[in-house]
Structure 1
Amino acid sequence: MRTTCCSASWCSASAAALAAVTVLLWTTPVAVGRPLPPEKPPSYEADCGAFVDGSRAIAYCHNPYPVTDRVRLHVECERWWDVDADSAPVEIDPAGYARLTERCWKEVRAVWVSHQSLRGSAGADT
């Protein structure tokens, strides 16, 4: 006597489940070993705070990094006839401090500090 281990409805249900698992396995995204994009080097910019006091602009900068940072204070004046001002570049050595000032004849519209990192200067006198 021959015995069957499954009925027709059970076989069709297990076949459907097997097909669903196969589809899921084939459509599941797989992490491919792609190289990561190169990281940007750190900026090493001095920490600066700029303030306006009437017609004067003042920036205090501290460089906590191991490379020299060249900073400049830029001042945009409110009046069209008032000449905008840019300070001379100041090199702030590692662990150094600088105070930059500029002024307008009348009101100040905008103040910002620009940075230029001097990469090859860590531990070297310039």
Structure 2
Amino acid sequence: MRLHRSPAPVTLAVALVLSLPYDAMPYARVADGGPPAQPLFGAACRTSVNGSHVVAYCHNPYVDIDRVRLHIECVRWWDIDTDSAPADTGPDMTVRLAGRCWKEVGPVWISHQNEH
């Protein structure tokens, strides 16, 4: 069985696309003097919690120095939260940060500061 199809729907679709205003059609945009791209920055850090002890390793693959700090929130209200001393992570350098709580460890995070 052979179906006879009319070229009218295809012709109509092409005509509609060609009649759209230029701004409505998708096209690749080229940056024209916009703000400069930000340089890559920031050490990649991984943390591990073992009981009440926390260890973090931060590796900086970029040129700018990244000053990193380990922040630890303890679960118990009477347990003092701790922040490590800042450590400058130079280009292609890995630093180790450590801290602890007396009891259970809560949220742990690393802060970054650009020392440019």
Per the normalisation by structure 2, the TM-score is: 0.71
Q: Which has the larger radius of gyration?
A: 1
- Once the two structures are TM-superposed, the CA of residue 27 in structure 1 deviates from its matched residue by 2.5
Corresponding residue for residue 26 of structure 1:
19
1:65-80 aligned within 5 A: 65-80=62-77
1:47 is aligned to: 44
Name the SS of the counterpart of 1:25 in structure 2: helix
Deviates more, 1:94-103 or 1:28-37: 28-37
- Structure 1 residues 25, 68: CA separation in 2 closer, same or farther (over 3 Å shift)? same
Look up the SS of the partner of 1:83 in the other structure: coil
Instruction: Indicate the SS of the match to 1:98.
Output: strand
Paired residue total: 103
The Cα shift of 1:44 comes to 1.2
Deviation at 1:69, TM superposition (A): 0.6
Shift of 1:79: 0.7
Where structure 1 has 5 or more consecutive residues not aligned to the other structure, the ranges are: 1-19, 120-126
Q: Which protein is richer in helix relative to its size?
A: 1
Whichever residue aligns with residue 102 of structure 1, its letter is G
Amino acid of the structure 1 residue aligned with 2:45 = C
Question: Could you tell me the TM-score, scaled by structure 1's length?
Answer: 0.66
Aligned residue in 2 for 1:9? none
Aligned-pair distance for 1:95?
Answer: 1.4
Q: Counterpart in 1 of 2:81?
A: 84
RMSD over aligned Cα atoms? 2.9
Q: Percent identity?
A: 48
- In the alignment, which residue of structure 1 is the partner of 2:54? 57
Return the letter of the residue paired with 1:109.
G
Question: Any idea what the Cα deviations from partners look like across 1:89-108, whole Å, max 9, x if unmatched?
Answer: 11111111211011111000
Range that drifts further, 20-29 or 67-76: 20-29
Gaps of 5+ in 2: 1-11
